[in-house]
């Protein structure tokens, strides 16, 4: 990746984050409904017992209405937690809805570390919040490299979750300038209307 592409990434990230934050409440509700339908359709009938989600922040599309559907009734949900030991890495802890979350250093809610964790490779589906994406499955995230490091691990594993990016259609780009460490996603699910 050339230095100018690095600048592009930063600039793109800023613009796309502003774009998703600018969506109004009505647009968001509609987008979440469409996402719910697309999620059901795209995941197909295969059972997903252990699904990592995220606690929507910074204008992100909330995946929760999608996961409240009947199809996900026995599904356990996990949230990313900034690893207190391995800096820059994520752990996935069980999200029990009756328990209060705790804000991490970015102000995003996390389960307490006492909640059960599941090894990332043993999840069935990993929902990844995207800042930008393109048709080839390349993604732009918040820039901390947290998901990058998680994804890099899967290359050496026989078992891994389905890697599913989540974004609004307005975050689609013709091409994400790719970084050498980028791992393409299996699937990107948006609020597309059909
Ligand atoms: N909902 C949600 N949870 C998530 C992520 C995410 O993208 N969405 N993450 C995905 O990685 C991890 C957190 N990563 C983050 C990386 C950067 C910033 C951020 O706001 N950066 C500031 C400057 C940060 C600072 O140094 O204080 C910024 O860009 O303005 C936030 C979260 C784990 N949890
Ligand atoms: N496998 C890895 N191991 C160590 N560091 C990594 C790895 N992958 C990426 N990084 C570092 O993480 C930083 C952020 O990467 P990048 O710009 O690709 O973020 P991003 O596309 O926004 O993704 P993310 O959602 O993971 O933050 C980079 O500076 C990079 O050096």
**pLDDT by 10s per residue, the chain, length 194:** 677 777 788 999 999 999 999 999 999 999 999 999 999 999 988 889 999 999 999 999 999 999 999 999 999 999 999 999 999 999 999 999 889 999 999 999 999 988 899 999 999 999 999 999 999 989 999 999 999 999 999 988 899 999 999 999 999 999 998 888 888 899 999 999 98
Supply the pLDDT for residue 21.
98
The ligand 1 site (C-beta within 6 Å) comprises 54-57, 60, 80, 90, 106, 108, 129, 141-144, 146-147
Q: Is the CB of 109 under 6 A from ligand 2?
A: no
Supply the pLDDT for residue 177.
84
List phi, psi (to 5°) of 179.
Answer: -95, 155
Residue recorded with tokens 């990993």 = 126
Q: Is the CB of 142 under 6 A from ligand 2?
A: yes
Supply the pLDDT for residue 1.
67
Q: Which ipTM did the prediction report?
A: 0.92
Supply the pLDDT for residue 135.
92
CB 129 within 8 A of CB 190: no
Supply the pLDDT for residue 185.
93
- Ligand 1 atom index nearest CA of 147: 11
Q: Which two tokens stand for residue 167?
A: 């974004």
Q: Which two tokens stand for residue 91?
A: 């752990």
pLDDT per residue as tens digits for the range 76-101: 999 999 999 999 999 999 999 889 99
User: Mind spelling out the 3-state secondary structure of the chain?
Assistant: CCHHHHHHHHHHHHHHHHHHHCCCHHHHHHHHHHHHHHHHHHHCCCCCCEEECCCCCCCCCCCHHHHCCHHHCCCEEEEEEECCCCCCCEEEEECCCCCCCEECCCCCEECCCCCCECCHHHCCEEEEECCEECCCCCEECCCCCHHHHHHHHHCCCCCCCEEEEECCHHHECCCCCCCCCCCCCCEEECCCCC
Distance 142 CA to ligand 1 centre (A): 5
Supply the pLDDT for residue 89.
96
Q: Is the CB of 89 under 6 A from ligand 2?
A: no
Q: Which two tokens stand for residue 190?
A: 């948006």
Q: Which two tokens stand for residue 84?
A: 């207190």
pTM recorded for the entire structure: 0.94
């Amino acid at each position: 990746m050339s230095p100018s592409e690095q600048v592009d990434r930063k600039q793109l990230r800023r613009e796309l984050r502003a774009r998703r934050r600018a969506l109004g409440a009505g647009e968001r509700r509609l987008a979440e409904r469409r996402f719910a339908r697309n999620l059901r359709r795209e995941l197909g009938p295969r059972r997903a017992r252990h699904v990592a989600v995220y606690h929507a922040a910074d204008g992100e599309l909330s995946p929760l209405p999608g996961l409240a559907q009947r199809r996900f009734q026995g599904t356990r949900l996990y949230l990313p937690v900034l690893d207190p030991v391995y800096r820059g890495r994520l752990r996935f802890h069980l999200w029990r809805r009756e328990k209060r979350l705790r804000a991490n250093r970015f102000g995003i809610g996390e389960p307490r570390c006492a909640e059960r964790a599941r090894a990332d490779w043993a999840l069935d589906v990993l929902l990844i919040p995207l800042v930008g994406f393109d048709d080839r499955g390349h993604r732009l995230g918040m820039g901390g490299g947290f998901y990058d490091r998680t994804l890099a691990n899967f290359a050496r594993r026989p078992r891994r979750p389905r890697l599913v990016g989540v974004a609004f259609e307005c975050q689609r780009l013709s091409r994400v300038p790719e970084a050498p460490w980028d791992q393409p996603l299996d699937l990107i699910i948006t609020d597309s209307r059909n």
